[in-house]
């Protein structure tokens, strides 16, 4: 609907420009959806390909991580969500691309690798689905595999949003860790699993910090001295990369531009 109306063309069909425009308004909305804080924001590299790997509790997690990220995040998102009118289009126009869960979606992996090759940032929730018991679950190896195949770092992220909903707008916190280089591990199934375990341990540690921050009323700094940060403003995310040249290979069934065909 939005794409067919030409809305995306107003932003040069560039998800970075779209996100630059929307970031301010999303920050405003997120303030209305409950007290929140970000920590470790400055640990994220300003340039170059990277994977941001987080745990997953709530539907608010993607924007919660996104508003504290110094970089535009190209989320790997379940296809069903991208097919939702208006909401799905908005996600696609800000760079999200589809993955068919439980099917080993090679198209999604190829798109993610293309994003990393352009020096951009892929966002992934490592458990693959929301966790229902209040603590992070077992992680999948996808984030580690992508980072190792493309030779980019992984920024782990701990999120405490468990129980958040529109009827329960509880405080929440996001904590970013230092970039992790998994390049020393073998690029095979065993190596990917080992890398996933490294990330899992760090994400659990950061989630605990996020939980403690929420319990302490979102303090100005964590016990280790990590300062609290406000949501990133648009001007803090300069410069805007030019990513208008979308992949055209036959495998790009879920391309990043305005001609999405996420249901194919």
Ordered structural domains, the chain, with CATH:
8-237 (3.40.1130.10)
CB neighbour class for 263 (10 Å; exposed up to 12, middle 13-18, buried from 19): exposed
Total number of residues shown for the chain = 264
* Neighbour-count burial for 99-117, b at 16+ CB within 10 Å, e otherwise: beeeeebebbbbbbbbbbe
- CB neighbours of residue 236 within 10 Å: 12
Hey, what are 25's tokens? 């308004």
**Calpha distance 261→97 (Å, rounded):** 10
**C-alpha distances out from residue 95 to 3, 192, 256, Å:** 13, 26, 6
> Which pLDDT score is estimated for 94?
80
Angle, helices 142-150 vs 189-215, to 10°: value is 120
pLDDT tens-place values along the chain, 264 residues long: 555 555 666 666 777 778 888 888 899 999 999 999 999 999 999 989 999 999 999 989 999 999 999 998 999 887 777 777 677 777 777 888 877 765 557 778 888 998 899 899 999 999 888 888 888 988 899 999 999 999 999 999 999 999 999 999 999 999 999 999 999 999 999 999 999 999 999 999 999 999 999 999 999 999 999 999 999 987 776 556 655 454 544 334 444 443 333 333
Let me know: does 164 contact 170? Beta carbons within 8 Å.
yes
> Which pLDDT score is estimated for 239?
59
> Which pLDDT score is estimated for 143?
94
């Amino acid at each position: 609907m939005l794409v067919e109306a030409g809305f995306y063309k107003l932003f040069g069909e560039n998800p970075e420009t779209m996100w630059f425009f929307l970031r301010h308004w999303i920050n405003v909305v997120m303030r209305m959806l409950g007290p929140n804080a970000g920590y470790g924001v400055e640990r994220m590299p300003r340039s170059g390909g990277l994977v941001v790997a987080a745990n997953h509790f709530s539907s608010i997690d993607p924007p919660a991580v996104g508003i504290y990220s110094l970089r535009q995040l190209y989320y790997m998102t379940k296809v069903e969500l991208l097919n939702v009118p208006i909401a799905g289009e908005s996600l696609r126009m800000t760079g999200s691309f589809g993955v068919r869960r439980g099917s080993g979606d090679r198209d999604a992996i190829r798109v993610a690798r293309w994003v990393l090759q352009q020096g951009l940032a892929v966002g992934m929730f490592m458990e693959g689905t929301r966790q229902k018991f209040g603590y992070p679950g077992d992680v999948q190896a996808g984030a580690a595999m992508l980072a190792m195949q493309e030779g980019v770092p992984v920024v782990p992220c701990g999120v405490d949003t468990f129980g958040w909903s529109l009827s329960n707008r509880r405080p929440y916190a996001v904590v970013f860790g230092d970039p992790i280089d998994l390049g020393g591990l073998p690029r095979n199934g065993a190596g990917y699993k080992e890398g996933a375990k490294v990330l899992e341990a760090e994400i659990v540690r950061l989630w605990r910090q996020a939980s403690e921050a929420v319990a302490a009323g979102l303090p100005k700094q964590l016990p280790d001295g990590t300062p609290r940060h406000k949501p990133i403003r648009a001007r803090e995310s300069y410069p805007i990369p030019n990513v208008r040249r979308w992949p055209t290979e036959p495998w790009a069934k879920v391309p990043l531009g305005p001609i999405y065909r996420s249901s194919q």
